[in-house]
Amino acid sequence: MGDAVLEYVTGFVDERYRAPSADYDGAFELARSLQETPPQEGRDLKELLDVIDRAARKGFDTAGPGFVAYIPGGGLYAAALADLIACVTNRYTAIAAPAPALVQLEANVLRWFCDLFGFPKTSQGILTPGGSMANFSAVVTARAAKLGERFLDGAVYVSEHVHHSITKSAAIAGLPRAAIRTVATDQRLRMDVSALQDMVAEDRRAGLRPFMVVGSAGTVNTGAIDPLEDIAAAARKEGLWFHVDAAYGGFFQLTERGHQRLRGIEEADSITLDPHKGMFLPYGTGSLIVRDGEALREAHQVHAHYLPDSSPNPDLPDFADYSPELTRDFRGLRVWLPLHLHGIKTFREALDEKLDLARLVYDSLVDIPELEVPWGPELSIVAFRPRGANEEDAARLLDSINASRRVWLSSAEVRGKTYLRVCIVSHRTRRDRIEECIEIVAKAAAEL
Ligand SMILES: Cc1ncc(COP(=O)(O)O)c(C=O)c1O
């Protein structure tokens, strides 16, 4: 079975460089044709792999080099091998006692995340299924630490470009919708910190309890980075929990340029980081690090008799005490194996390359007279739209670029206008495909 599956997946990886960046022909018909209930008698693996293969070919090719839409992840092969091992050994890592040494490997990865941002030894991280769940735990931790059990008058400050998972987190953390307070942004789409301070003061006068401010380190629309140092200072002055949503941008900290641009992030109380974005890992790998590990624990821990005894070692956490989850996959191995196999330097160089490629996209597109490219890339996203065009033209340009099937872009609304965006994060997106992308965009813009 293993041989057959490995033959299939290695073939799949090889094919990515030739495969269309999306294929929708008959996709929904195929989905309908696959409606079924499981059989009473087992079927042949080859036959089943064929079903999986036909299904996997339809939709966006999120593992391919041409996928520059949304926030790509790519999916490192070594992480898949780690998952295979993790699933077969099926060790229990939610609590330290059942597998202390494996839990240590996950704890090491999280300590490295904390060290990367200069967090103290008393900090603690968790691996989550993604950035949304990391943001959720951050909101719950901030709420518990700052407001206690009566929190309906709490207020959370975000910029208009914050990821919607923060708003969703606040809602499912029991805060009223009105608790999300949207702060204006400047020309570079970064939070206006003096507007933040005015809003906090006004809200206090109106009887609200401001408790949290969220800075984005790489907004999903344009990759804008909020002025983290200034937000940190304002948060300190106002006694707010300072969370940085660095789901997309956080791992650029590994590079010299990223480190410069993210200045101030090390002052955060908590940071969301998505290894399934900036570390090229497969979907399902997010993380949250919290400066005060005890605050994370206090917000999540509930005792139960039937669980094994707590970890006797303070460096070896019982992850279930720091997270909404109890039983979960052994995510740590999926991060640990690629990090140790390839080394940090490889990740740094790959991220540096993505910064260079985004700069190349920007420098090339600003020279195209038919395009408006308002913001230089802070990280690896470049947004643009047809100059002086209406929304329909922008949509037509996107369709025409994506019809190439060599690249797949998505769009975003910024200040009421639709922008197309190229986001370069997949490890498979290299210079050759980006040069081709630029040619495709230039041709489509000229023909619009
Ligand atoms: C800035 C930001 N925060 C949070 C998220 C949510 O992450 P996930 O999709 O892993 O839940 C995203 C996803 O793109 C994001 O870009």
Instruction: Name the closest-CA residue to atom 7, ligand 1.
Output: 131
Q: Is the CB of 131 under 6 A from ligand 1?
A: yes
Q: Last residue of some domain: 294, 324, 342?
A: 342
Q: Last residue of some domain: 285, 308, 342?
A: 342
**What pLDDT band is residue 249 in, cutting at 50, 70 and 90?**
very high
Question: 378-423, pLDDT tens digit by residue?
Answer: 999 999 999 998 999 999 999 999 999 999 999 999 999 999 999 9
Average pLDDT, the chain: 97
CATH number at residue 423: 3.90.1150.170
Given a cut of 80, is residue 231 above it in pLDDT? Answer: yes
Q: Which domain holds residue 122?
A: 84-342
**What pLDDT band is residue 313 in, cutting at 50, 70 and 90?**
confident
> How would you list the strands of the sheet with 270-273, edge to edge?
124-128, 286-290, 270-273, 241-246, 209-216, 154-159, 180-183
At 444, list the tokens: 């489509």
Contact between 54 and 30 (Cβ < 8 Å): yes
Residues 60 and 139 in one domain: no
Given a cut of 80, is residue 5 above it in pLDDT? Answer: yes
Instruction: Name the closest-CA residue to atom 16, ligand 1.
Output: 220
Residues 157 and 126 in one domain: yes
Q: Is the CB of 71 under 6 A from ligand 1?
A: yes
- Distance from the alpha carbon of residue 246 to the mean position of ligand 1, in angstroms: 9
b/e map of 361-400 (b: 16 or more CB within 10 Å)? Answer: bbebbeebebbbbbbebbbbbbbbbbeebeeeebebbbeb
Given a cut of 80, is residue 76 above it in pLDDT? Answer: yes
Q: Is residue 74 part of a domain?
A: no
Beta strand 241-246 with 209-216: parallel, antiparallel or unpaired? Answer: parallel
Q: Is the CB of 224 under 6 A from ligand 1?
A: no
Contact between 170 and 132 (Cβ < 8 Å): no
Helix (H) or strand (E) holding 414: strand 410-414
Q: Is residue 149 part of a domain?
A: yes
Q: Is the CB of 329 under 6 A from ligand 1?
A: no
Residues 415 and 379 in one domain: yes
- Distance from the alpha carbon of residue 125 to the mean position of ligand 1, in angstroms: 17
pLDDT of residue 73: 85
The number of domains in the chain is 2
Q: Is the CB of 130 under 6 A from ligand 1?
A: yes
Sign of the C-alpha dihedral computed for residues 248, 252, 254 and 258 taken in this order: negative
Residues 145 and 238 in one domain: yes
> Over pLDDT 90: what percentage of the chain?
97
Q: Is the CB of 137 under 6 A from ligand 1?
A: no
Average pLDDT score over residue span 178-183: 97
CATH number at residue 105: 3.40.640.10
Average pLDDT score over residue span 152-172: 98
At 67, list the tokens: 């996928």
Instruction: Name the closest-CA residue to atom 8, ligand 1.
Output: 131
Which of 248, 270, 287, 381 to mutate to test ligand 1, by most ligand atoms within 8 A of the CB atom? 248
Residues 226 and 374 in one domain: no
Specify the ligand 1 atom closest to the Cα of 131.
7
Q: Last residue of some domain: 282, 309, 342?
A: 342
- The phi and psi torsions of 408 (rounded to 5 degrees) equal -135, 115
b/e map of 198-235 (b: 16 or more CB within 10 Å)? Answer: ebbeebeeeebebbbbbbbbbbbbbbbbbbbebbbbbb
Residues 247 and 388 in one domain: no
